[in-house]
């Protein structure tokens, strides 16, 4: 069966295929790959220029409220931004700061007064702004940041203040060079009472670009990557802003200083505000997906033409992607990139339906979306970091040259694992939600149900001790239902285990920190298992939706490789807890190897289907394709050419 790459691409493109095609065309208008020796100042200037071109294209408007000239297509715009990951990640991040974080905060935390005054300027890129949440001393624990916004009823103003060096706003995009305003997150105080973190619009630069009185602007300087983005620091010395600066959708302060909010609980209010900002986290996950795809396209295309070590019998050199170990480096990572692509598409689609202007608020679904976004962001960005690293290594010395694009991809995406939520903290957040849901599920059981539940737990322990469980559930490791069973069992097992451990912390006098800390690795494993199962389900559903038989068959193999790679990576768990026998675990490894061989001839097709604009891939690394495979969709796999150990040394 021949796979039509265009059909495969349309499956990957999904709901926003038209947007993706538009962006592919538009990207042609941007300057391709800035000179890697550009100074930081020049790279920042170039990125700002590209940002304005993006604004002129009308693309960013698509994400805003149609009542203010927006396009009302949140999913489309997040998809479009992620596509910039095929090009220049500095531009992606700068656009994300301007329209996703800054503009998004004004849109979802502000009210009509803010929208009327600022939205158009923001969409047009006339008012560039910052999202000033993180502080030097508080990155993950933003609920406890220390900047204050104290209401002065006498002047009807808020006084924004940085009490100490740890409270300065840090790593803030758009701050060092361009931002004229900032959405500043601060502890709101009125009438001597604290009400937790709120967001205010604070001017930081005047029209001429100078710092506003009382505002000190610092520069984070050169970073590992993303040097087109001007990250900086903001310190406020009793800066006064009018009462209307408060983004007051969820809470307000009256002229006399009276505080009101539709959400009474301070913590819940904070997380509701944060939740509306989930778009930023989803956008980072999207950028991680596209950047990973680009790295894989480069490494796989190079591996499919690069030859090394001759068969002494024929003298013919072997294509490196024909070596099992090279396949092992790249093809499982490619399979997981596919899985994440589909999981990410679902996430964007669900966010669109929930958050598009005019959509009704559904708290339960919103909460589920946030948890899923946190999990996929963590898993997706770690996959990006490890895969791009592997791709660099798979290209040897060539992969180390800036001209071959992989160094920039690596350096730019490196921060993805720790910004917009540190991955470890995000997985803890996922674990926390899972535990609450689990507690509610168990709590809702009637007496008989609870007894059954307890009996199941005991039976599980017995099954594990006797190794019976692995014998009960048999099946071919290549069978999708069997893979799904393993992933779901692991999720449930780890969750039950974590819940049991955490229950001890509820006892009076318990060493809470000790118990939490001792269970921390279990919590993270449970969260990870949950995300793995979610991603598997998203990919499986996508495969089932495909009508074209050859494409469906190919994707089914990719799904199997992804699932078995996850299972193989944690096969110690599956054996330790008697879900797999030792023999079955070995069969998993054999199946991964076999699937690498099955997919090898389709490797080129699989990366071509991402539809990465060719000018954004053009580099000396792929020059070998001209000679070796001109005009071929899939270079000859040369699987028959033998070599032997002697030629390796």
Residues 35-54 that bind its own copies (CB under 8 A): 36-37, 39-40
Span interacting with its own copies, options 100-108, 181-189, 217-225, 279-287, rule CB under 8 A: 217-225
In the list 230, 322, 350, 491, the residue contacting its own copies (rule: CB under 8 A) is: 322
For residues 66 and 139, which CB has a smaller minimum distance to its own copies in the complex? 139
Q: How many residues bind its own copies (CB under 8 A)?
A: 97
* 10 near its own copies, judged by CB under 8 A: no
In the list 338, 419, 610, 616, the residue contacting its own copies (rule: CB under 8 A) is: 419
In the list 154, 325, 447, 472, the residue contacting its own copies (rule: CB under 8 A) is: 325
For residue 292, the minimal CB distance to its own copies (Å) is 16
In the list 278, 347, 502, 543, the residue contacting its own copies (rule: CB under 8 A) is: 502
Span interacting with its own copies, options 68-76, 84-92, 334-342, 399-407, rule CB under 8 A: 399-407
For residues 207 and 474, which CB has a smaller minimum distance to its own copies in the complex? 474
* Backbone phi, psi, residue 317, to 5°: -85, 150
For residues 201 and 499, which CB has a smaller minimum distance to its own copies in the complex? 499
* Backbone phi, psi, residue 335, to 5°: -60, -40
Span interacting with its own copies, options 479-487, 515-523, 538-546, 611-619, rule CB under 8 A: 515-523
Residues 111-170 that bind its own copies (CB under 8 A): 134, 137-141, 144, 170
Q: At which residue do the structure tokens 């996922």 appear?
A: 430
For residues 156 and 501, which CB has a smaller minimum distance to its own copies in the complex? 501
* Tally of CB atoms within 10 A around 354: 17
For residue 308, the minimal CB distance to its own copies (Å) is 5
For residue 483, the minimal CB distance to its own copies (Å) is 17
* Tally of CB atoms within 10 A around 510: 13
Quote the Cα angle for 333-337-342, to 5°.
150
Residues 421-450 that bind its own copies (CB under 8 A): 422-425, 428-429, 431-433, 435
Pairing of strands 181-190, 129-132: parallel
For residue 517, the minimal CB distance to its own copies (Å) is 5
- The answer to whether 546 and 554 have CB atoms below 8 angstroms apart is no
Span interacting with its own copies, options 85-93, 188-196, 321-329, 334-342, rule CB under 8 A: 321-329
* 629 near its own copies, judged by CB under 8 A: no
Residues 256-295 that bind its own copies (CB under 8 A): 271
For residue 88, the minimal CB distance to its own copies (Å) is 16
Residues 544-603 that bind its own copies (CB under 8 A): 571-572, 575-578, 582, 585-586, 593
- d(CA 327, CA 537) in angstroms, rounded, equals 25
- d(CA 23, CA 88) in angstroms, rounded, equals 13
* 242 near its own copies, judged by CB under 8 A: no
* 472 near its own copies, judged by CB under 8 A: no
Cα 497–chain centre separation: 27
**Burial bucket for residue 557 (CB in 10 Å: 0-12, 13-18, 19+):** middle
In the list 324, 454, 471, 541, the residue contacting its own copies (rule: CB under 8 A) is: 324
Residues 61-120 that bind its own copies (CB under 8 A): none
Query: Which 8-state DSSP code applies to residue 477?
Result: T
For residues 29 and 324, which CB has a smaller minimum distance to its own copies in the complex? 324
Dihedral of the CA atoms 444, 448, 453, 456 (nearest 10)?
-160
* 385 near its own copies, judged by CB under 8 A: yes
Tokens found for residue 615? 């000018």
Residues 295-314 that bind its own copies (CB under 8 A): 307-311, 313
Tokens found for residue 215? 């505002």
* 477 near its own copies, judged by CB under 8 A: no
Residues pairing with 317 in the sheet = 310
For residue 467, the minimal CB distance to its own copies (Å) is 8
In the list 27, 337, 411, 607, the residue contacting its own copies (rule: CB under 8 A) is: 411
- The answer to whether 99 and 60 have CB atoms below 8 angstroms apart is yes
Listing DSSP states for 323-338 in one string gives SHHHHHHHHHHHHHHH
For residue 202, the minimal CB distance to its own copies (Å) is 21
* 507 near its own copies, judged by CB under 8 A: no
Question: For every residue of 162-201, which 3-state class applies, written as one string?
Answer: CCCHHHCEEEECCCCCCCCEEEEEEEEEECCEEEEEEEEE
Residues 448-467 that bind its own copies (CB under 8 A): 464
**Burial bucket for residue 183 (CB in 10 Å: 0-12, 13-18, 19+):** buried
Sign of CA dihedral 98, 288, 371, 186: negative
* 630 near its own copies, judged by CB under 8 A: no
Sign of CA dihedral 549, 554, 556, 557: positive
**Burial bucket for residue 432 (CB in 10 Å: 0-12, 13-18, 19+):** middle
- The answer to whether 194 and 187 have CB atoms below 8 angstroms apart is yes
Contact map string, positions 344 to 363, toward its own copies, x by CB under 8 A: --------------------
């Amino acid at each position: 069966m021949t796979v039509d790459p265009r059909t495969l691409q349309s499956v990957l493109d999904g709901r926003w295929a038209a947007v993706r095609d538009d962006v592919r065309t538009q990207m042609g208008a941007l300057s391709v790959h800035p000179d890697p020796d550009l100074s930081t100042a020049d790279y920042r200037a170039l990125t700002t220029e590209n940002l304005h071109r993006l604004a002129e294209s009308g693309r960013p408007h698509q994400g805003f409220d149609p009542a203010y000239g927006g396009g009302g297509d949140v999913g489309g715009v997040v998809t479009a931004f992620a596509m910039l990951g095929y090009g220049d990640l500095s531009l992606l991040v700068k656009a994300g700061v301007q329209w996703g974080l800054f503009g998004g905060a004004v849109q979802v935390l502000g009210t009509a007064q803010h929208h009327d005054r600022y939205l158009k300027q923001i969409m047009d890129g006339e008012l560039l702004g910052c999202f000033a949440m993180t502080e030097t001393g508080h990155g993950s624990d933003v609920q406890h940041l220390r900047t204050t916004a104290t209401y002065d009823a006498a002047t009807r103003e808020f006084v924004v203040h940085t009490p100490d060096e740890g409270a300065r706003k840090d790593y803030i995009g758009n701050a060092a060079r361009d931002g004229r305003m900032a959405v500043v997150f601060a502890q709101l105080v009125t009438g001597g009472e604290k009400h937790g973190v709120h967001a205010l619009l604070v001017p930081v630069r005047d029209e001429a670009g100078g710092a506003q009185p009382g505002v000190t602007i610092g520069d984070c300087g050169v970073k590992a990557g993303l040097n087109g983005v001007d990250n900086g620091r903001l310190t406020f010395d009793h800066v006064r802003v009018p009462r209307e600066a408060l983004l007051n959708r969820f809470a307000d302060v009256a002229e006399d200083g009276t505080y009101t909010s539709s959400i009474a609980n301070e913590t819940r209010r904070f997380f509701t505000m944060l939740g509306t900002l989930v778009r930023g986290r989803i956008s980072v996950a999207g950028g991680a997906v596209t950047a990973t795809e680009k790295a894989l396209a480069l490494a796989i295309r190079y591996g499919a033409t690069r030859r090394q070590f001759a068969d002494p019998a024929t003298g013919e050199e072997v294509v490196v992607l024909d070596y099992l170990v090279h396949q092992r480096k790249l093809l499982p990572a490619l399979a997981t990139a596919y899985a994440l692509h589909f999981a990410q598409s679902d996430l964007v689609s669900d966010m669109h339906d929930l958050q598009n202007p005019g959509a009704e608020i559904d708290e339960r679904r919103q909460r589920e979306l946030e948890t899923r976004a946190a999990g996929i962001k963590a898993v997706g960005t770690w996959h990006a970091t490890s895969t791009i690293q592997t791709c660099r290594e798979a290209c040897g010395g060539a992969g180390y040259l800036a001209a071959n694009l992989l160094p920039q991809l690596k350096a730019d995406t490196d921060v993805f694992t720790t910004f917009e939520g540190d991955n470890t903290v995000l997985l803890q957040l996922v674990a926390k939600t899972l535990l609450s849901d689990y507690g509610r599920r168990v709590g809702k059981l009637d007496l008989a149900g609870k007894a059954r539940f307890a009996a199941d737990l005991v039976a599980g322990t017995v099954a594990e001790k006797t190794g019976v469980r692995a014998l009960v559930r048999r099946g071919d490791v290549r069978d999708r239902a069997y893979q799904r069973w393993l992933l779901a069992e692991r999720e449930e097992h780890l969750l039950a285990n974590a819940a049991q451990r955490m229950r001890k912390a509820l006892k009076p006098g318990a060493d809470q920190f000790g118990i939490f800390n001792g269970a921390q690795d279990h919590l993270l494993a449970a969260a990870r298992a949950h995300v793995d199962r979610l991603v598997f389900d998203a990919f499986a559903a996508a495969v089932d939706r495909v009508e074209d038989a050859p494409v469906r068959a190919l994707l089914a193999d990719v799904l199997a490789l992804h699932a078995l790679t996850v299972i193989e990576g944690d096969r110690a768990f599956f054996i330790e807890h008697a879900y797999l026998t030792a023999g079955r675990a070995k069969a998993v490894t054999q199946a991964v190897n076999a699937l690498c061989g099955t997919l090898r001839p389709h490797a080129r097709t699989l990366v071509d289907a991402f539809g990465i604009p060719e000018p954004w891939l053009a580099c000396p690394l792929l020059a070998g394709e001209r000679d070796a495979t001109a005009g071929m969709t899939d270079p000859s796999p040369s699987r028959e050419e033998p070599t032997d150990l002697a030629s390796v040394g």
